[in-house]
Amino acid sequence: MNTKLSDRVNNMSTSATLAMAAKARELKEAGRDIIGLSLGEPDFTVPEFVKEAAIQAVKDDYHSYTPVDGYGDLKQAIILKFKRDNDLDYKPSQIVVSTGAKQSLANLAQVILNEGDEVLLPAPYWVSYSDISKVSGGIPVEIPTNIDSDFKVTPEALEAAITPRTKMMIYSSPCNPSGSVYSKEELRALADVLVNYPDIIVVSDEIYEHINYVGDHVSMAAFPDMYDRTVTVNGVSKAYSMTGWRIGYIGGPEYIARACNKMQGQVTSGANCIAQRATIAALENSPDKIQYMVDAFKGRRKLILELISDIPGLKANEPDGAFYVFPDVSFYFGKTLNGYDINGAGDFALYLLEHANVATVTGEAFGDPNCIRISYAASEEDIREAMQRIKKALS
- Residues near ligand GLU (CB under 6 A) are 15, 17-18, 39-41, 102, 127-128, 176
Helix/strand/coil for 37: coil
Q: How far is CA 244 from CA 222, 248, 272, 353, in A?
A: 30, 11, 11, 25
Q: Is 205 in the site for ligand PMP (CB under 6 A)?
A: yes
Cα radius of gyration rounded to whole Å, the chain: 21
Q: How many CB atoms lie within 10 A of CB 387?
A: 24
Q: Which does 248 bind (CB under 5 to 8 A by kind): ligand GLU, ligand PMP, none?
A: ligand PMP
Contacts of 330 (CB under 8 A, 6+ apart): 345, 370
First to last CA, the chain: 39
Q: Is 207 in the site for ligand PMP (CB under 6 A)?
A: yes
State the residue number with the nearest CB to ligand GLU: 40
Residues 39-68 that bind ligand PMP (CB under 6 A): 40
Pinpoint the alpha helices (H) of 65-183. 72-86, 101-112, 128-135, 155-161
Rounded Cα distance, 84 and 367, in Å: 34
**What is the smallest separation between the CB atom of 353 and ligand PMP, expressed in angstroms?**
21
Q: Which does 19 bind (CB under 5 to 8 A by kind): ligand PMP, ligand GLU, none?
A: none
* Cβ distance to ligand PMP smaller for residue 172 or 370: 172
List the x/- string, 7-26, binding to ligand PMP by CB under 6 A: --------------------
* Cβ distance to ligand PMP smaller for residue 300 or 330: 300
In SS3 terms, 318-385 reads as CCCECCEECCECHHHCCEEECCEEECCHHHHHHHHHHHHCEECEEHHHHCCCCEEEEECCCCHHHHHH
Q: Is 232 in the site for ligand PMP (CB under 6 A)?
A: no
**What is the smallest separation between the CB atom of 198 and ligand PMP, expressed in angstroms?**
25
Q: Which does 145 bind (CB under 5 to 8 A by kind): ligand GLU, ligand PMP, none?
A: none
Q: Is 36 in the site for ligand PMP (CB under 6 A)?
A: no
Q: How far is CA 280 from CA 173, 221, 306, in A?
A: 24, 23, 38
Residues 91-130 that bind ligand PMP (CB under 6 A): 100-102, 126
Rounded Cα distance, 283 and 6, in Å: 40
Q: Which does 181 bind (CB under 5 to 8 A by kind): ligand GLU, ligand PMP, none?
A: none
Give the interface with ligand PMP as residue ranges (CB under 6 A).
40, 100-102, 126, 172, 176, 205, 207, 235, 237, 243, 248
